Amino acid sequence: MDNSTIDVDRPLIAQMPATARLRRAGDPALVGRLLAWYDANARVLPWRARKGRRPNPYHVWLSEIMLQQTTVAAVGPYFRRFIRRWPNVDALGRAEPDEVLHAWQGLGYYARARNLLRCARVVGTELGGRFPETEAELERLPGIGPYTAAAIAAIAFERPAAVVDGNVERVIARLYALEKPLPRARGRIRELAAALTPTRRPGDYAQAVMDLGSLVCTPREPACGRCPWADSCAARALGIAEELPRKPARPARPTLSAVAYVLVRDDGAVFLRRRAPTGLLGGMMEVPSSEWRDEGWTEDQARAAAPVSAPWRSLPGIVRHTFTHFHLEIRVLAGRVATAESLGDGAWAGRGRLHEFALPTVMKKVIRHAMASPPLAMDEEPANERR
């Protein structure tokens, strides 16, 4: 094909010779090939119903919330622990926020955990323990957006909803050789995905496309030889499958600075306080810390911002942590007090009890750093967390 004749505003598939063009959207042959592949190659996942059984809406909802911004491999152990501890949505709705946040540690994006509990309480108390079946009704629940609503509707209730996650975006962009980069291409991808979604077995179809993207149509080195849609894939025909979907260059992450104050009693207890209920790491416990800002902190500024008067000692080194959109560098000041003096809202975490508190990873790093530095060095560290 002469690339000089390509109209960049039209999908490449529309400009290819008729013999290489994709079958029209919604062609039962495409759906049939994919479902046959899925029947033979579907992943066995703890939240998926076995063949011939109805999916459990609670399992579908819980797994979809956990899988946002997280990998399947990471979610598996968390899902199993949640199900053992809270076997249904009513049980989860009766949990305390700290219990859920603590169980969520390591999955990140803690607003999901807060919304998980809010949603469980709405479903348990206002909806009689039953999830609604339509996308529109599901989207009214806390923490459920368009993608999650479509996934629950399709997988749990066999509604023909177009489920479009990152894997599906990649599959559709390659299937149609869409050159327009993300995120501008998302509207067109959603239209094409909706056109392909069948009315028969829509739940299996949704999971099949996601599995195809995860197992075969991978970001790098896609296994086109094992793909049930290989003969219909425009990007493969053009030799550009690995290049799609195109993405704009990511902006560099800025670096913010903060100060953390690790206050330890003579008996080894560490003072913790709760962060504000909204915002990043909302509702979780932390050692007192300063604002996170663009400019760094001088020694005098760090001491002036301390939450209480104490003989603060600046520890050597910097604690570094990376969030999705920025890096954070934290200098740590440590101090000891002899008694359990009043420090406002907060709690003293005694020796051996730090693991009982919902501490985000960044705060575990801070405490480990402090406890490894004289004169605060102690025998214990916070419980290890999988990364």
Query: What is the set of active-site residues?
Result: 64
Q: Are 75 and 107 in contact (CB under 8 A)?
A: yes
Q: Are 335 and 264 in contact (CB under 8 A)?
A: yes
Q: Please identify which residue in the block is written with the tokens 């119903």.
A: 49
Name all contacts of 114-120 with Cβ < 8 Å and 24+ positions apart. 114/277, 114/282, 114/283, 115/65, 115/142, 115/143, 116/62, 116/65, 116/92, 116/143, 117/92, 117/93, 118/142, 118/143, 119/61, 119/143, 119/144, 120/89, 120/90, 120/92, 120/93, 120/95
Q: What is the amino acid identity at position 109?
A: Y
Please, which residues bridge with residue 264 across strands? 270, 336
Q: How far apart are CA 141 and CA 134, in angstroms?
A: 12
